């Protein structure tokens, strides 16, 4: 009797393995029959939010890091397209796999998203997201802001943070609850007037204050070093949630209407609005980052996915893929979190930076906003 039951069990396993194998063969045949690169350009862009040329170049860059050893493993093209499709729609993995253009199992989709996101972070991110590190690069960045539709003298970038929702992590869950009441990553970005992302930091939990993230940022260390070495008219533009520093200018609250301080603040807020539009463009294209979605990943992988979206945002700009008209509601939703309260800096060092920041701010107002 026991031998009969064992035979039945083995037969069941064999039948199950046969079904799985047949399903894999069917999916591979579907992928082979439908070459998505043969789709019309407009349909390809609607599906993946990028051009065919961008994907081909991305595949070339990532091929050494994604090529499977098994001859019947997923092609690099399939892996990359699968990950991009997920970034674009932010759907569940099973739904992504059932997409007519991919035909993958849920586990295959999961592997593709992870492997592509890791490869992008490890091998491409630093080449596509670069903060102006040399005096020549910073001067070029100043010229961009001087010639922007909303110009501001001396600015090289606008800085802010945005929240990307994630599933509650297993460890330190409470640290990821933001002041709006849901779990998130608090992501710092800096951009230029062309909406190009110059820096991204996607490693802090949602409860971390924007200014606290800035205080730990390597960019801040660089800006302070430049200031100490004599580069005294170079700064970033931040909102009132950031501390005023000689290299980070903030608005002046409650400035009298029509006063030079009021004109300065209006120009500051207008120029700084590029970071809000950058968030709106980023999240309207890569919906996995939007407020309507939730990244079902642990914080480390969620951060890698956010970084990948930021890099692809810059690649779209490089390949001149136009953003659709960014609706005001997308900008508002991308920045829907209420502004955090003021950051309390270290008592002594913080006061010294604040005093120097005020001196720099007042000198800028005298030089540029007294007679406007």
DSSP 8-state secondary structure symbol assigned to residue 245: B
pLDDT in tens, 267-326: 999 999 999 999 999 999 999 999 889 999 999 999 999 999 999 999 999 999 998 755
8 Å CB contact between 314 and 129: yes
Average pLDDT, the chain: 87
| pLDDT for position 305 | 98
- Does position 358 have pLDDT exceeding 70, yes or no? yes
Q: What pLDDT, on the 0 to 100 scale, is given for residue 286? A: 97
pLDDT recorded at residue 243 = 95
C-alpha 300/C-alpha 163 separation (Å) is 15
Q: Would the CA dihedral through 289, 310, 141, 130 be positive or negative?
A: positive
DSSP letters for 166-213 = BPPPSSSGGGGB-TTSSBEEEEEEEE-TT--EEEEEEEEETTS-HHHH
C-alpha–C-alpha distance, residues 114 and 317, integer Å: 24
């Amino acid at each position: 009797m026991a031998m009969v039951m064992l035979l039945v069990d083995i037969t069941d396993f064999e039948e199950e393995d046969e079904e799985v194998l047949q399903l894999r063969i069917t999916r591979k045949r579907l992928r082979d029959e439908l070459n998505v690169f043969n789709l019309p350009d407009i349909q390809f862009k609607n599906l993946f939010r990028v051009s065919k040329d961008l994907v081909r170049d991305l595949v070339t860059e990532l091929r050494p890091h994604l090529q499977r050893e098994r001859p019947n493993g997923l092609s690099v093209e399939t892996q990359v397209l699968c990950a991009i499709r997920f970034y674009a729609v932010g759907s569940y993995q099973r739904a992504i796999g059932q997409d007519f253009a991919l035909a993958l199992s849920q586990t295959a989709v999961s592997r593709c998203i992870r492997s592509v996101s890791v490869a992008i972070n490890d091998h491409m991110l630093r080449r596509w997201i670069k903060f102006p590190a040399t005096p020549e690069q910073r001067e070029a960045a100043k010229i961009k802001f001087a010639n922007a539709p909303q110009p501001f003298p001396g600015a090289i970038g606008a800085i802010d943070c945005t929240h990307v929702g994630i599933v509650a992590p297993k460890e330190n869950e409470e640290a990821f609850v933001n002041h709006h009441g849901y779990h998130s990553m608090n992501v710092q970005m800096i951009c230029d007037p062309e909406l190009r992302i110059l820096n991204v930091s996607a490693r802090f939990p949602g409860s971390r204050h924007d200014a606290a993230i800035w205080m730990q940022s390597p960019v801040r260390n660089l800006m302070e070093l430049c200031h100490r070495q004599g580069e005294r008219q170079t700064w970033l533009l931040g909102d009132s949630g950031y501390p005023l520093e000689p290299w980070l200018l903030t608005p002046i609250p409650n400035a009298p209407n029509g006063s030079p301080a009021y004109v300065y603040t209006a120009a500051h807020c207008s120029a700084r609005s590029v970071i809000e539009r950058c968030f709106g463009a980023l999240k309207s294209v890569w919906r996995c980052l939007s407020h309507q979605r939730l990244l079902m990943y642990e914080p480390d992988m969620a951060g890698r996915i956010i970084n990948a979206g930021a890099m692809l945002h810059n690649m779209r700009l490089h390949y001149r893929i136009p953003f659709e008209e960014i609706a005001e509601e997308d900008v508002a939703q991308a920045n829907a979190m209420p502004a955090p309260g003021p950051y309390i800096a270290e008592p002594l060092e913080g006061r010294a930076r604040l005093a120097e920041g005020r001196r720099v701010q007042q000198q800028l107002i005298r030089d540029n906003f007294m007679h406007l």
